[in-house]
Structure 1
Amino acid sequence: MIQGKVILEELQALNSLKELAQSYEEIAVVRMQKIKDSVIHTRDFLSDLSDVFVDLKASYLREFKDLLSRRKVGNQTLLPSLQKTGKTLLVYLSSNGKLYGSVTQKTYRLFIDDIRRNKLGESDLLIIGRAGKEMFENAQTGKQFEYFEMPDTNVEIEHIRQLIKRFLQYEKVYVYYGKFNNVVRQNPIATSITGEDIFETEIASPTRREDRFIFEPSLERLFNFFESQIMANLFSQTLLENQLARHASRVNAMEEALIHIEEEGKKLLRQKTRFKHMLQNRKQLETVSGSVLWG
């Protein structure tokens, strides 16, 4: 009877896991549907806006080399927000929770590979989310990093304000996150939010920007606006993209878990059936043995 009891306990545990996986999946679907339309509709707009940002930065670099040189050394004659460290910042958008499927791991691998290959040169590192912090510490890269605590959902404007204030100290900022393609496929991506490339360009193909523009009131003030307001919008979009990709990845992960649970449940039911037959055979043997014994 001990074996039968164990089988029943395992079946009950599997049913509990099944209910948990179904709950996680349903919640992820609801959250995904809640933000999906706004994320996808905003993509094209921000892509076009970042194209203007790239043109603006190209003009800034080409026509104002003197301004650029003063900016790089932190010249105090510049607007405060244009005084930079000349460094690059790599930002990894992770999560606090787990069970988000493969997209978090894929994004982490892209982030860590770029660091190890020194793809973007010597850079400062910022990790957002406890899961990413844990993975990076376990990797023992020897690299120093800053950590920023932020909720997985319901991000407040103050969180973004604090981060943008930090981003504005850097010449270049690249954000690593998961991008939603469809429910089945989510890609890890690194995108610039400081005007180096068009936003969310997955395959970089640098294009020379030769167009000339007249800027009002001034290139410096216009660039200051883009570096603060537009950067904040681009970063907010990466947060929503990352949330959407995580929810879709969780749906996939829970669906796979439910398939495995179903398979394990069938195995246990077969064991239960075999055990039941074994007990019946044993009773029949005992009955036959008793009949022979008593003649």
Structure 2
Amino acid sequence: MASKRQIDSERLGLLEIKSLVDAYEEIAAGRMQKVRSAVLTAREFLGGLSEVFGEVKFNYTKEVLTVERKKRLGKTVAVWISANAGLYGDIVERSFQLFADYLAKNQAEAVVVGRLGTKMMADRLPKMLYNYYDLEDDRVEVEDLVLVMRYLLQYQKIVVFYGQFKSLVNQVPTATAVSGDELYELKPEEQKKHQYLFEPKIEEVLEFFEGQMLTTMFEQTVHESQLAKFASRLMALDTAVENIDRKVTQLNQAGVRLKHRQDSRKQLNRIAGISLWQ
């Protein structure tokens, strides 16, 4: 049975941890609010642009392909946006599982973003070859983004795996083809028969999409991942606070029981002492 000193020491330690968790929770909430409105506003708009991008690519392949574009045909890259640190709940784990399942079923090159991802790859897929890039968890540096995109633009199809924010209590692992292919492939056949007139030439339109919009859409997935991770961290920290409060309550109850036992023992000792003198 724990002594009063042990109970008090454990309770003090838990309260100190709770103060630290509360601070992390406040930081996570601030970061989440900072990116939430921007991410949700851009999500629908960029989803529509991705669909248009797919239509442009489809019409281009029906006409003429440059030698450079022919080199990309059939080349697919799967990009997993992980994290650089822990305490993000289970969303990183679940997005990794989606990424691993895709690689098992499809022929694709692998790219991992985030230091935590390299550790998980070493543990789960030690034989898988992949390229690694580093992006911050709480911001996107233009130089880092350009470095990643320079590599990704070698591929015809770019599929990004990340966590997506649905609500504060619900973040889901998601796969998005930022190259526009997947959305167009899922369209009914009759919708694919539409013909378009392009002004300027279709090559210039596609070049604009690849040079500007593809980077923008990939950056959106990075921001989506950040939002989901902050929300997941907030929920994980909230659960931690609840667990700490529960444990502190148990310790308080244990302290009360211990005091009652000590008081009862003192009372019995007094009674025993009185009996000896009578």
Verify the 8 A CA contact 1:72 1:86 in the aligned structure 2.
Answer: no
- Secondary structure of the 2:83 match is coil
Please list, as runs of the form range in 1=range in 2, the aligned pairs for 1:106-255 lying within 5 A after superposition.
Answer: 106-116=94-104, 118=105, 121-198=106-183, 205-208=186-189, 209-255=192-238
Within the candidate set 71, 76, 99, 1:88 is matched to 76
Verify the 8 A CA contact 1:175 1:193 in the aligned structure 2.
Answer: yes
CA deviations 1:22-79 (Å, max 9, x no partner) are 2222111111111111111111211111111011011012222xx26x34654xxxxx
- Secondary structure of the 1:291 match is helix
Q: Which amino acid in structure 2 is aligned with residue 129 of structure 1?
A: G
| TM-score of the aligned structures, taking structure 2 as reference length | 0.92
| TM-score of the aligned structures, taking structure 1 as reference length | 0.87
Q: Distance in 2 between the 1:131 and 1:229 partners?
A: 29
Compute the displacement of 1:114 (Å). 1.7
Q: Where does structure 1 lack aligned partners over 5 or more consecutive residues? A: 75-83
Q: Distance in 2 between the 1:242 and 1:52 partners?
A: 23
What's 1:288 paired with? 271
Within the candidate set 92, 114, 118, 1:104 is matched to 92
What's 2:5 paired with? 5
CA deviations 1:161-182 (Å, max 9, x no partner) are 1111011111111100111111
Q: Distance in 2 between the 1:197 and 1:113 partners?
A: 17
CA deviations 1:181-227 (Å, max 9, x no partner) are 1111111100011121339xxxx834332221222332223212211
Verify the 8 A CA contact 1:56 1:223 in the aligned structure 2.
Answer: yes
Q: Which amino acid in structure 2 is aligned with residue 180 of structure 1?
A: F
Aligned residues: 276
Q: Distance in 1 between the 2:2 and 2:177 partners?
A: 61
Verify the 8 A CA contact 1:53 1:226 in the aligned structure 2.
Answer: yes
Q: Distance in 2 between the 1:24 and 1:101 partners?
A: 13
- Secondary structure of the 1:246 match is helix
Q: Which amino acid in structure 1 is aligned with residue 83 of structure 2?
A: S
Verify the 8 A CA contact 1:178 1:189 in the aligned structure 2.
Answer: yes
What's 1:81 paired with? none
Would the alpha carbon gap of residues 140 and 164 (structure 1) be closer, same or farther in structure 2, given more than 3 Å must change? closer
